[in-house]
């Protein structure tokens, strides 16, 4: 793990802002050659930082569940359809009459990948395995698979879905582990 | 609905276009399309701009393009269908002309991806799906999504990484001959591809299309005008449109893209052909090879061959010029480049040029027997799909090619 996300992220932007300031100081205009040294670019003096706030009001039971050690799906009381990720509404029955049901946890791995080139906001993690498994109930879940050696992963292997604390951020989420 | 034909095409040079602004880059394509159709801006009654954006500075790309290219005060909109935004623009302009709301419309696609640093672009594309449930916690990337398909496909059909590299080699071969391609002049070998680094196992750098700036434009006109403007109008005969689930986890399997299959089904039904052995109806196809696995799945979703047989086409070289069905003779997304919003329009440009038999050098001009071509443009990872059929004939279904 090493450096935290904050430190990596800040460093990335600090470097570019530092270069920008130096260019402006030297030339009076924020223009510098592109990465290949070929063409002139105006380096934006305005920064746009984006972090969204997303409503979880109608599915907050799911997050309460994580704190209680349970992973929930929702299930339509009328048609019996499971929803994972949990949904507050069943669009097929046009009802919002849902049961919160605990996910059994056992599943069969359908496919997976190892993310080698990571998004900036994931750059502080080691390469991670993302897998999709079909749970006993019939629906699929996508999550990281915790495994020491990605070469041991096989399509068709049995996995268990469990709650995990994502470090270094320290928040609760879910992950797969192989069933020995 | 009335007939709609493409009568003018324009294509900017694809690549790292840090020498141009959004407006300047688009103008390269718009100017060429106007010249090709011998029309003036005032003749264009409506224009649509395909642009995914986010990584580029302009929030209202359609109006920036409209002003720069002198298209004001004509009506416009910007459309988004992820990597199929260009085909969405063509579809929207097609609907405007087919319905009679406009006699002459322009579909434009543009993307400026080098306005942001690569990590930001990776971040943006990784969010293309269901942001909250699949990106926020699990950090998928665009190659990562397709890697989930490649793993499942390899496992199911005993395919090897080498098989997929052959797709990259083919598309680079054609891209190397296309002066508008990002990788013009650059051929690769299977060995180079196999030795390239993994970006999302089992997808390697050379299985992947690059980050690209680019623009393309087509002029669409009604059937009454088409032959007054050109001797070789290329008719848009059918468009099939479909979507797939935002969450990949909601899909039953990972060996084909259902949205592409459904869109193809619709497109074929409209012209009265079955969804089987479809290679025989088309002289050439442009398919969405953002990754090599995507091209192989396209062969099967389009019904060129049955599920699991796509790699056999690759192994036998049947998608080169002279083969069963030549695919991506312009280099495809892989070697021509993939400027997200421009790709679909670029496909329409290339299919038009192929059917007009005006492609240079001739080594990448398909032999024309039936006068029909097809483009397959996927948005995201099978989130959107647009299948467009083009023909030199205004009416009637496609003939079949002689068996080779």
State the span(s) of chain A assigned CATH 2.40.50.840: 105-180
CB contact under 8 A, A119 and B119: yes
* Chain A, nearest residue to B123 by Cα: A119
Average per-residue pLDDT in chain B?
97
A98 to chain B, closest Cα gap in Å? 18
> Is 80 exceeded by the pLDDT of residue A169?
yes
User: Rounded CA gap, A69 and A61, in Å?
Assistant: 12
Token pair of A103, please?
């996910």
Q: Binning pLDDT at 50, 70 and 90, where does residue A48 land?
A: confident
| Among B231, B236, B237, B239, residue whose Cα is nearest residue B358 | B231
Give the whole-angstrom CA distance, residue B354 versus residue A3: 53
What are the start-end ranges of the E strands in A51-157? 72-76, 82-83, 98-102, 106-115, 128-135, 140-145
Token output for B1: 């609905």
> CB B138 to CB A141 under 8 A?
no
Q: What is the pLDDT of residue A3?
A: 64
Over range B112-133, report the average pLDDT: 92
SS3 content of chain B, % helix, strand, coil (to 5): 40, 20, 40
Of A40-49, A151-160, B134-143, the poorest mean pLDDT is in A40-49
B224-283 tens-digit pLDDT: 999 999 999 999 999 999 999 999 999 999 999 999 999 999 999 999 999 999 999 999
The residues of B that are catalytic are 83, 338
Min Cα separation A176/chain B (Å): 12
Is the predicted pLDDT of residue A2 greater than 70, yes or no? no
B138 → closest Cβ in A140, A144, A156: A144
Q: Which two tokens stand for residue B346?
A: 């670029």
**Chain B contact for A119 (CB, 8 A cutoff):** yes
Residues of chain A in contact with residue B120, where contact means CB-CB under 8 angstroms, are 120
Q: pLDDT by residue (tens digit) across A68-96?
A: 999 999 999 999 999 999 999 999 999 99
Instruction: Of B217, B368, B401, B195, give the one whose Cα is nearest residue B284.
Output: B368
List the domains of chain B with CATH numbers.
4-116+212-229 (3.40.47.10)
Measure in Å the smallest separation between the Cα of B361 and chain A Cα atoms.
29
Which of B119, B143, B202 to mutate: most A Cβ within 10 Å? B119
Within 8 A of B155 by CB-CB distance, chain A residues are: 111, 155-156
3-state secondary structure of B402: coil
The CA-atom distances, in angstroms, between B231 and each of B8, B136, B142, B309, B388 are 12, 53, 42, 39, 22
Note the pLDDT of residue A1. Answer: 44
* CATH architecture observed for domain A105-180: Beta Barrel (2.40)
How many C-beta atoms lie closer than 10 Å to residue A162's C-beta? 14
Determine the residue of chain A that is closest to B151 in CA distance. A111
Report whether pLDDT(A4) > 90. Answer: no
| A44 touching chain B per CB within 8 A | yes
Contact B319, B191 (CB under 8 A): no
Buried b (16+ CB within 10 A) or exposed e, B7-35: bbbbbbbbbbbbebbbbebbbbbbebbbe
* Cβ neighbours of A32 in B, within 8 Å: none
CB-based contact B48:B106 (threshold 8 Å): yes
Q: Around Cβ B54, how many Cβ atoms within 10 Å?
A: 18
Question: In chain A, which residue's Cα lies nearest the Cα of B152?
Answer: A111
Q: How many residues does chain B have?
A: 404
Q: Is the pLDDT of residue B140 over 80?
A: yes
Confidence of residue B404 (pLDDT cuts 50, 70, 90): low
Nearest CA in chain B to A82: B250
The CB density around residue B130, as the number of other CB atoms within 10 Å, is: 19
Question: pLDDT category, A49, cuts 50, 70, 90?
Answer: confident
The model's pTM is 0.97
Nearest C-alpha neighbor of B14 from the set B165, B186, B168: B186
**Probe site for chain A from B15, B21, B127, B200 (most A CB atoms < 10 A):** B200
pLDDT in tens, A12-34: 888 888 888 999 999 999 999 99
Which residue among A34, A38, A110 sits closest to B152, beta carbon to beta carbon? A110
Are the C-beta atoms of residues B42 and B24 closer than 8 Å to each other? no
Neighbours of B325 (CB within 10 A): 24
């Amino acid at each position: 793990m090493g450096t935290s996300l904050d430190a990596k992220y800040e460093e990335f932007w600090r470097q570019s802002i530092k270069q920008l300031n130096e260019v402006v100081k030297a030339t009076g205009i924020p223009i510098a050659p592109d990465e290949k040294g070929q063409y002139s670019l105006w380096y934006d003096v305005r920064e746009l930082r984006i972090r969204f706030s997303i409503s979880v009001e109608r599915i907050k039971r799911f997050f309460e569940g994580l704190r209680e050690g349970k992973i929930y799906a929702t299930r339509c009381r009328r048609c019996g359809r499971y929803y994972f990720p949990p949904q507050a509404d069943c669009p097929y029955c046009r009802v919002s009459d849902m049961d919160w049901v605990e996910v059994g946890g056992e599943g069969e791995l359908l496919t997976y990948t190892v993310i080698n080139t990571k998004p900036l906001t994931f750059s502080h993690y080691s390469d991670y395995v993302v897998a999709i498994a079909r749970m006993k109930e019939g629906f699929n879940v996508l999550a990281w698979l915790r495994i020491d050696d990605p070469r041991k992963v096989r399509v068709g292997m049995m996995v268990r879905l469990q709650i995990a604390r994502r470090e270094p951020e320290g928040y609760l989420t879910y992950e797969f582990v192989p069933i020995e | 609905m009335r007939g709609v034909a493409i009568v003018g095409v324009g294509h900017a040079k694809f690549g790292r276009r840090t020498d141009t602004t959004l407006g300047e880059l688009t103008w390269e394509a718009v100017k060429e399309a106007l010249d090709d159709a011998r029309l003036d801006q005032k003749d264009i009654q409506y224009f649509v701009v395909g642009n995914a954006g986010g990584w580029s500075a302009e929030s209202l790309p359609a109006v920036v393009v409209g002003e720069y290219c002198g298209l004001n005060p004509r009506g416009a909109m910007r459309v988004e269908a992820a990597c199929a935004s260009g085909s969405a623009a063509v579809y929207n302009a097609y609907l405007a002309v087919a319905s009679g709301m406009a006699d002459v419309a322009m579909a434009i696609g543009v993307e400026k991806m080098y306005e942001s640093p690569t990590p930001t672009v990776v971040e943006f594309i990784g969010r293309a799906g269901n942001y909250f449930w699949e990106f926020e916690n699990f950090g998928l990337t665009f190659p990562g999504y397709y890697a989930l398909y490649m793993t499942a496909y390899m496992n199911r059909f005993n395919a090897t990484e080498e098989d997929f590299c052959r797709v990259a080699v083919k598309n680079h071969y054609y891209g190397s001959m296309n002066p508008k391609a990002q990788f013009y002049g650059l051929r690769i070998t299977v060995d180079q591809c196999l030795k390239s680094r993994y970006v999302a196992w089992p997808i390697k750098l050379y299985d992947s299309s690059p980050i690209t700036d680019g623009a393309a434009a087509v002029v669409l006109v009604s059937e009454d005008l088409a032959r007054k403007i050109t001797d070789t109008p290329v008719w848009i005969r059918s468009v099939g449109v479909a979507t797939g689930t935002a969450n990949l986890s909601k899909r039953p399997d990972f060996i084909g893209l259902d949205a592409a299959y459904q869109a193809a089904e619709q497109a074929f039904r409209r012209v009265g052909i079955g969804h089987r052995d479809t290679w025989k109806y088309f002289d050439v196809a442009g398919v969405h090879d953002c990754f090599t696995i995507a091209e192989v799945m396209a062969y099967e979703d389009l019904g060129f061959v049955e599920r699991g047989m796509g790699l056999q086409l690759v192994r036998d070289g049947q998608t080169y010029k002279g083969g069963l069905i030549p695919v991506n003779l312009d280099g495809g997304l892989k070697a021509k480049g993939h400027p997200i919003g421009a790709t679909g329009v670029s496909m329409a440009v290339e299919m038009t040029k192929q059917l007009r038999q005006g492609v240079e050098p001739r080594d990448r001009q398909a032999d024309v027997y039936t006068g029909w071509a097809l483009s397959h443009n996927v948005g995201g990872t099978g989130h959107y799909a647009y299948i467009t059929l083009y023909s030199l004939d205004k009416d009637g279904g496609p003939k079949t090619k002689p068996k080779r």
